[in-house]
Amino acid sequence: MKHNPRQSITALDAGTCALAALLLFFKSWLFYSHVNLAGFHPLFSILTAAIFLFLWSAIRIVSERAAKIVMFTVYTVLSVFMTIDAVYYSYVSKLPSAALIPMIWQAKGISDTILRLLKPYHMAMLIDLPLWCMRAADRSDDKIRENLLDKIEHRLSRIELRKSVTGAVSFALCGCALVTACVWPGFQPNYMANELFCYHIRDFYTIARDSATNRVVDKSLYTAASQADSPYYGIAKDRNVIILQVEAMQNFVIGAFYEGQEITPNLNRLIADDSFYFPNYYYQIGGGNTADAEFAVNNSLFAPENDAGYVKYTDNTYHGLPYLLKDHGYSGAHAFHNYICSFWNRENAYPNQGFDSFTSLEDFEQDDMFPMGLSDRSMFRQSMEQLKTFEEPFYAFYVTVSSHHPYAIPLEDRQITLKPEDEGTLFGLYIQSMNYADRAIGEFLGQLDEAGLYENSIIALYGDHYALANTDPENSTRVAAMTDGQYSIFDVFNVPFIVNVPGMGFAETKSAAGGHIDVMPTLLCLLGIDNDKTVMFGQNLLEAETGFVCEQTHVAVGSFISDEVYFKKPYNNIKANYDAYAKADMSRMDPDLFKEQSDYAKNRILDCAELLADNDILLGE
């Protein structure tokens, strides 16, 4: 019987697609099982493979060639997306957004971090792609192809997989997958937003839309009342303002000892003398991580959820801390950072933030280089020469980088003696880096004193974001053992906030929950400055009777931390993944009890997003 090469080729492509769908199912299973989908990963794996088959079958009705191209392209793209998504999720606990694409070039600056995050299962999603590319690019002549078809014809010719048959089978399988989803216990239609095709298509669509939503925002809700009746008002009036944003410093290292060795002796002494200490302080960032901590602190605004404020709203009109201080007689605002000026678009964003100068890695003598940038000690030492030339009072804002993940500071700068089992671990490296950061800060404070600047300054210090995830059992076990407690999600979000007012004559600990957006109104109170220029979403923590921290990164918008409760709304919006804990003992609570507070947290962030999208944060306009 004479065979039909075209029919056999069609059968071959159908078999290839079936194999691709099967492999995609196993890859999806591997991927979904690591992203906390409350046990629904088998169903999501089925759905992803079914959607793949559906796309191939639908396009094949029109063109077999186009279907083949789509098959190989989609399989390759989805494999790459799964790998990127999995690596990103392992660090941020959320899937990446297309909004991050303009910032992808910055990945080279954190290559050590990315390599540390890579696991074998990440690479398993890519390992077969070279073979698929070779198969897609096969240009063998007709004779070779015909010989191949002769060998497989006796297996395929009887099956006669025509378009109608393969299409019907594929559509039937897709239908079965949808029916399975409908009857799967606990599964709801809105959970489909977590399926890879659905997630990325929805994300690209969301990014393509205009950020503004015509949401009506009552700016009077975010207008600060005068703090003139506060006993703290103006106690640091006309002093230099120096802010230190410390890379990845978490609060659990403050006051902690490792094998009898004090990790942060300088900060511990600082807290005990002429300082306000806020132990229940939590980071609030967006897609820009470190840069968004700066954005929140200097403006009392929430950064965009999936973008960096410095990138998305570079050219907006601001009137944050740098401008307000200059309004009240400060000679200038100056930023210092020991990494490249273009990272997170700082070189373009800082002028609109109100900074008059920006000294970055390119401007310093690179005499003590760390894995990521100039050492903190060298940056502080070299910057002192500039501080001495500034007319007082001035504003100096520092962003450190030496303690950046993966915390691999040079051996000669490590002074903590680690137990053998902690050597080379992320936990051990982190303890070393925090001890180094503390020593660098201690030296800087001493240099300020020698230069005659310390007594006439107010020094604020805080951590920008977390360092060690509590989802890593190794981290959790070691931190809990060192602190004689547990390492909960509270500890992950909890970073230190210290305000030192030399000569104040007392030290206080303020327990109200607060976050990055509260720094600006707190400092303005101490400086005796009222803000009638711009909205502020934070509050003065010195006078706060209660605290409430709206979170949006590493948890979804609608999550919050109060004085009594931690409420986590998951990105995947799967009901089983909602969590509420009593802060006192970490006992679980019913998440349904906190819907009103969750909506309040969500609305505050959405209000801020709308004002930023409309470039409308100033008052009286």
Domain boundary among 175, 208, 241: 208
- Residue 362 in any domain: the answer is yes
Residue 107 clears pLDDT 80, i.e. is over it = no
Tens digits of per-residue pLDDT, 246-293? 999 999 999 999 999 999 999 999 999 999 999 999 999 998 889 999
Instruction: Report residue 428 as tokens.
Output: 């051990």
Half-sphere exposure of 389 (CA within 13 A, CB side): 6
Tell me the average pLDDT across 362-385: 96
pLDDT for the residue 170: 63
Q: How many domains does the chain have?
A: 2
Q: How far apart are CA 203 and CA 96, in angstroms?
A: 9
What secondary structure does DSSP assign to 402-425, as a single string? Answer: TT-TT----GGG------GGGTTS
Whether residue 105 has pLDDT greater than 70? no
Q: Is residue 114 part of a domain?
A: yes
Alpha-helical (H) ranges within 364-454 are 376-387, 426-450
- pLDDT over threshold 80, residue 139: no
Judge whether residue 185 has pLDDT over 80. Answer: yes
Instruction: Tell whether 202 and 234 lie within a shared domain.
Output: no
- What percentage of residues in the chain have a pLDDT greater than 90? 57
Q: Using pLDDT thresholds of 50, 70 and 90, give the confidence band for residue 143.
A: very low
Q: Residue 34: is its pLDDT beyond 70?
A: yes
| pLDDT confidence of residue 112 | 65
Residue 268 lies inside a defined structural domain of this protein: yes
Of the ranges 303-307, 458-462, 597-601, which one carries the lowest mean pLDDT score?
303-307
pLDDT: which is higher, 335 or 63: 335
- Average of per-residue pLDDT across 392-410: 95
Residue numbers of the domain that contains 46:
5-208
Is there a domain that residue 619 lies in?
no
290 in active site: yes
Long-range contacts of range 254-261, CB-CB < 8 Å, 24 or more positions apart? 254/279, 254/496, 256/482, 256/483, 257/482, 258/416, 258/418, 258/431, 258/482, 259/417, 259/418, 259/419, 261/416, 261/417, 261/435
Identify whether residues 453 and 539 lie together within a single domain: yes
Greater confidence (413 vs 127) lies with 413
In a domain, residue 595? The reply is yes
Residues 235 and 366 in one domain: yes
Q: Are 478 and 413 part of one and the same domain? A: yes
Residues 412 and 268 in one domain: yes
Could you tell me if residue 355 is inside a domain? Answer: yes
**Mean pLDDT (whole number) for 519-534:** 97
Same domain, 158 and 249: no
Q: Give the residue with greater pLDDT, 287 vs 113.
A: 287
Q: What is the CATH number of the domain that holds 267?
A: 3.40.720.10
Residues 375 and 416 in one domain: yes
Q: Is residue 74 part of a domain?
A: yes
Contact 487/111 with Cβ under 8 angstroms?
no
Please tell me the predicted confidence (pLDDT) of residue 8: 44
Query: 208, 227, 250 — which closes off a domain?
Result: 208
Within this chain, do residues 599 and 492 fall inside the same structural domain, yes or no?
A: yes
Whether residues 203 and 311 share a domain: the answer is no
Q: Could you report the per-residue pLDDT of 204-226, keeping only the tens digit for each?
A: 887 777 655 678 999 999 998 89
Same structural domain, 409 and 478: yes
- Please report which confidence band the pLDDT of residue 616 belongs to, taking 50, 70 and 90 as the band edges: very high
382 and 459, same domain (yes or no)? yes
Long-range contact list for 15-19, CB < 8 A, 24+ apart? 15/156, 15/161, 16/71, 16/135, 17/53, 17/56, 17/67, 17/71
Q: Is residue 621 part of a domain?
A: no
220 CA to centre of own chain? 30
pLDDT at 142: 43
Q: pLDDT tens across 115-136, in order? A: 777 777 788 888 888 877 776 6
Q: Is the pLDDT of residue 534 over 50?
A: yes
Of these residues, 16, 48, 83, 290, which one is catalytic? 290
- Residue that wins the pLDDT comparison between 197 and 58: 197
Q: Is 179 a residue whose pLDDT tops 90?
A: no
Does position 447 have pLDDT exceeding 80, yes or no? yes
Predicted confidence (pLDDT) per residue in 548-574, tens digit: 999 998 899 999 999 999 999 998 889
User: What's the pTM?
Assistant: 0.87
In whole numbers, what is the pLDDT of the chain averaged over residues? Answer: 87
Residue ending a domain, choose from 185, 208, 231: 208
Please count the other Cβ atoms lying within 10 Å of the Cβ belonging to residue 22: 11
Quick one: the chain helix, strand, coil %, rounded to 5?
Answer: 50, 10, 40
Residues 52 and 122 in one domain: yes
Cα(580)–Cα(588) distance, integer angstroms: 6
Average pLDDT over residues 319-340: 97
